[in-house]
Amino acid sequence: MTNSSELETVFLTRYSHGAGCGCKISPEILDTILSNVHSIPGSYPGLLVGNAERDDAAVMDLGDGTAIISTTDFFMPIVDDPFTFGKIASANAISDIYAMGGSPLMAIAILGWPVNVLSPEVAGEVIRGAQEICREAGIPLAGGHSIDSPEPIFGLAVTGRVAVDHIKKNGGARPGDLLFLTKPLGIGILSTAQKKGILEASHESMNVSWMQRLNTVGERLGKIKGVHAMTDVTGFGLAGHLIEMCRASETTAVIRFQDIPLIDPEVLKYIENGCIPGGTNRNYSSYGKDVKLAHESFKTIMCDPQTSGGLLIAVDPEDRNLIEMLLSSENLNAMPIGHMKIKGAFAIEVV
């Protein structure tokens, strides 16, 4: 936090119409945007992961057993404090590198700022937060680009590296694989409660803590052969990102709703009080036809847009103990939330 009275009283979320990954374009609209964007097979033989895969990042083979990972992510404020906003946006962007099983090398900042409304000192606090997270990840914030924009926007373009044999895609899951989710859900719901002015201070601190936590465990997971597929859960919610995994793997996922980790049990009470993000309904309208719910009430959690969410992992059952020990050692959720089965009529079944 800053000592300046001006910076202490700024409320960034008042200057944007969206918040965090909840302001992502819906999956349905994104499909339309990308409908005429096609990769030409063989045009770039070194491109191991490109736009055709709808994965977390692009990957280019360097020809020496290693590959470069490239990604970008940015959004509008999900918290009021500029320093914290910079940290969350940066952790979220770097997550894509870890989701591919790699390690980050460096980052470049992306800043859109309403210069006639918010002072450059406030923007400086956002950058300072980004530097803090980059230092935590062991990489430099090496440069960036900025524009004058109507709303504050911040994020990073991140470059990483990975051994070709350790690349984890969102495809590759197999029937029988166990599904793990490393971070709890509820970020979108709690953020909406904050906007409504009813979020308890303890829940706010938990929400922020999870959002600014790096998914560094992804690099270690990338080295485990039994991890067949991996992605991170962000604005499309657990259901949206799991559908992408199921489609890429040609499988169906069975999720046990009672085993889904929540930031706090009080998340369900906030739902009862109407704290449902707009992105939740946009998500469900985009892909709800592919999800079979045992109870309609499951929709809000399954479709809750996450910002800097956890890693979703499909694991060979033989490696269950290894994965559980690794996640437990990192104080992450170490209980499977479901499994993959042979492809059926729905991409996801929530029981």
Which residues are catalytically annotated? 21
Residue entry with tokens 């039994």: 226
Q: How far apart are CA 14 and CA 143, in angstroms?
A: 28
Q: How far apart are CA 1 and CA 235, in angstroms?
A: 27
Listing DSSP states for 53-64 in one string gives GT-SSEEEE-SS
Q: Can you read off the two tokens belonging to residue 90?
A: 């940066």
Q: Can you read off the two tokens belonging to residue 166?
A: 């350790």
Q: Which of 62, 128, 137, 145 is nearest to 105 (CA)?
A: 137
Q: How far apart are CA 206 and CA 202, in angstroms?
A: 6
Q: How far apart are CA 157 and CA 134, in angstroms?
A: 12
Residues 6+ apart with CB under 8 A from 125: 2, 7, 81, 82, 83, 86
Q: How far apart are CA 169 and CA 325, in angstroms?
A: 22
Residue entry with tokens 């005429």: 36
Residue entry with tokens 């770097």: 94
Q: How far apart are CA 261 and CA 313, in angstroms?
A: 14
